[in-house]
Amino acid sequence: MTVAQPLLPVILCGGSGTRLWPLSREAYPKQFLALAGATTMLQDTALRLQGWDPDIGIAPHPILVCNTEHRFIAASQLLAVGIQSARVLLEPEGRNTAPALTLAALQASSEGEDPVMLAMPADHVVKDLPAFHAAVRKAYSLAQAGGLVTFGVVPDRPETGYGYIQCHAAGPQGAGIHRIASFAEKPDAPTAQRYLDAGDYFWNSGLFMVRASQWLAAMRACRPDILAACEAAMEGAQRDLDFIRPEASAFKACPSDSIDYAVMERLPLMPELGIAIFAVALQAGWSDLGAWDALWSVLEQDGEGNATVGDALLQDSQNSLLMSTHRLVAGVGLDHIVVVETPDAVLVADKRRTQDVKHIVARLKQDGHALAHHHRKVHRPWGWYDAIDSGERFQVKRIVVNPGARLSMQMHYHRAEHWVVVRGTAEITNGEDTYLLAQNESTFIPVGRRHRLANPGKTPLEIIEVQSGDYLGEDDIVRFDDIYGRSSGPESVS
């Protein structure tokens, strides 16, 4: 009899969330945002299995797969909810979910483990945790026995934004457990209605459960090219602080593919492998928050179907969403309208066409516009800064440094900086001098001088920085020492 092993959460933290622009940006995508509660979507995902089955339990070291650019954001958010032992695998470039899960399986196998992995995208909402846990229990027994399991969300509307799974009737394994007949792409509206009416289609949730060894066997049979690239990347992996870095050139050579395309759709055509695939029905208030209409559907609404977030007011309006992050947003006479305000951009859209927001982001990228990538407020491993004003030859930033954190020892070729302490105590290295500054005190950093800002206190340090010079780009940084392992130049701003 197979002994039950603790379930290993594998959190897939890639994706840019372009359809939730302007709140979600490439440098700070939706999985790091608190959209449906007080905690972020990544934090919700990491905590989703707590208490699910005390007899099986959860592996003590979950695996997180994320983009290199997001490593400090992900690690700090996990620490904030008490998860200190995650193995964080850094993709030098995104290659979709099949390579990401393969990296996780190889990492687990390298440590002598063959766990049952539950792959969970970091940007989903699950409202009913008991129902989710019940579905996970059903899937666990199937996966432990060698099956590959996905979770099919029972649809409640003809949704065109999700892929679909067609299933056979529930078999002898039990209620809510189905053999998979086929997969379907995101449909048009009439096809989605036909799927809903048929009753044997589920939304494809993107959640998967499988043993590490079984996943690697499936990849060896279905996509040996992806497996070989991932194996080469993990053979050359390096430890960096608390992160695991697969070898970059090997991983960049890896083809990009999803779990569905790489494996799930191929396995029914390869019965000789003996890998059974199942769909477990999931009715747990699931949403991938893929667009603004999906967020509207999970938020509390008034009697007219309106949802508001932040400082927002509606008058004589129906079925609309207003979100404010900075200023008052008011709407009059709106119907099926989404308005999202951030300090540097405002989106106004028909709620029935929010899938098309991705085209706005594509145009911004094509034009080289920074708003596709960055917010005005930019997060760093030491804290964050907000570029509150700029003009010819000057820029003003509000900088917050976390307790005990420090910026790199650095120098700029093109700009001078004047720092004013607003709150807390600053430790300043200015050339050969090191000194403390208290609230309302200031200092000046000339062009070309080595300098460092640190927070020696136990509360956040806040300063106002005024930059002046002929070039004020973030890539004008020469680093001499950095506790976060960043290098100089454009790559150093991550």
* pLDDT tens sequence across 408-464: 999 999 999 999 999 999 999 999 999 999 999 999 999 999 999 999 999 999 999
pLDDT at 37: 83
Closest to 160 measured CA to CA, from 112, 119, 196, 208: 196
pLDDT at 493: 40
In one-letter notation, the amino acid at residue 134 is: A
* Residuewise pLDDT in 10s, the chain (494 residues): 456 788 999 999 988 889 999 999 999 999 999 998 889 999 999 999 988 888 898 988 999 999 999 999 999 999 999 998 899 999 999 999 999 999 999 999 998 889 999 999 999 999 999 999 999 999 999 999 999 999 999 999 998 888 999 998 765 556 789 999 889 988 999 999 999 999 999 999 999 999 999 999 999 999 999 999 999 999 999 998 789 999 999 999 999 999 999 999 898 878 888 888 999 999 999 999 989 999 999 999 999 999 999 999 999 999 999 999 999 999 999 999 999 999 999 999 999 999 999 999 999 999 999 899 999 999 999 999 999 999 999 999 999 999 999 999 999 999 999 999 999 999 999 999 999 999 999 999 999 999 999 999 999 999 999 999 999 988 899 999 888 877 655 434 43
Residues of the chain with CATH 2.60.120.10: 377-493
Answering whether pTM is above 0.85, one says yes
- Kindly report the average pLDDT of the chain as a whole number: 92
Residues of the chain with CATH 3.90.550.10: 8-287
d(CA 9, CA 116): 9
377-493: which CATH topology? Jelly Rolls (2.60.120)
Pick the CATH number of 8-287 from 3.30.1490.20, 3.30.70.340, 1.10.10.10, 3.90.550.10: 3.90.550.10
- For 151-188, write each residue's pLDDT tens digit: 999 999 998 888 999 998 765 556 789 999 889 988 99
Query: What percentage of the chain carries pLDDT values higher than 70?
Result: 97
Backbone angles phi, psi at 240, to 5 degrees: -135, 105
Closest to 139 measured CA to CA, from 233, 278, 326, 347: 278
Backbone angles phi, psi at 200, to 5 degrees: -115, 15
